[in-house]
Structure 1
């Protein structure tokens, strides 16, 4: 009896496996991200940024509508601290903070690439996979791009960053983007 049932299951012409109940099977809907075009890279971007953007646009783990490559804009300085003179016998408590990093022209990075992984894949290794794609695409660049050491830890906070010297690549989950980059200068998000 067991041979007969296995043979009948093996010769079935149904496209679904024997253990899938047809009542619970949902039709597959193609993702809308595949039909939407990827934002283009600015023409004045350096070659490593263009290479990373092109490699990320082929990644199956990313939501391509969130892939953005932009030149970094200096942040607006906040209001100045109110001046207060030193107090007490030791003359402590003054509020002069010295020069700020905002007074130096330029920032740490000149270019920023940001991408968000598809929802539900962030805890399944999608962020680490995209980081491997970025690092692999930058290995053969001439002149060499200074990359930091590989991290052996899993990205538990939903955010990974690859520092390329003159540019940075942020790979984010949806929650991390909403938490850390909610008021970001990248208005495409």
Structure 2
């Protein structure tokens, strides 16, 4: 090794022409290199055709997030569920008049859900307790507030998420950012068809 260096470099001058020992003299072309593990996940599910433009822009931003598992990024309409039977009518009892089952008239008696669309995004395992959920929520809020015209969002909560689930209410749609554990617990096996 010294004889090679002695031949290429003189002791009095600085040698810049030799390559360090850790550089491969014959690198592989980019097309034959294996992909890193964070890029080898399943492809991102496509967005339905009739989705509003703000959701399409949000989906494109979330698909580029390094904190999300791209194969679990879902945009769908919530399932329609029929309401159960009404409670039997019961008059209020006691001095404080509690326990009655007549709820009065409400705007929520209209069949259907609160939101027209639901976006569900799962963070990668191991990032949920290290700020991954909060980072994705910041991306969601920044994207929605940066649209023209900006969507009206509720004030940002400064509390740190400790249950593995955050939700952003964007008016006609909701964005759920979940950990894998919270997704399995609250949405079960049918979460991908949601």
Using the size of structure 1 for normalisation, the TM-score is 0.71
Structure with the bigger percentage of strand? 1
1:96-128 Cα deviation digits (max 9, x unpaired) = 555677640332211110011011110001001
Distance 1:150 1:83 in 2: 40
Deviating above 2 A after TM superposition, structure 1's stretches of 4 or more consecutive aligned residues are: 11-15, 28-35, 72-76, 78-88, 91-103, 186-189
Residues 93 and 156 of structure 1: CA distance in aligned 2, closer, same or farther (over 3 Å)? closer
Contact preservation (8 Å) 2:115, 2:174: yes
Shift of the alpha carbon at 1:43?
0.9
2:18 matched to 1:13? no
Let me know the Cα RMSD of the aligned residues.
3.2
Q: 1:137 maps to which residue? A: 143
1:52-89 Cα deviation digits (max 9, x unpaired) = 1111111111111111001223322224435668899x
Contact preservation (8 Å) 1:33, 1:64: no
Q: Which runs of 5+ in 2 are unaligned?
A: 1-18, 24-33
Between 1:61-70 and 1:74-83, the stretch displaced more is 74-83
Name which of 67, 75, 79 aligns with 1:69: 75
2:165 matched to 1:159? yes
Residues 134 and 14 of structure 1: CA distance in aligned 2, closer, same or farther (over 3 Å)? same
Residue 141 of structure 1: SS of its match in structure 2? coil
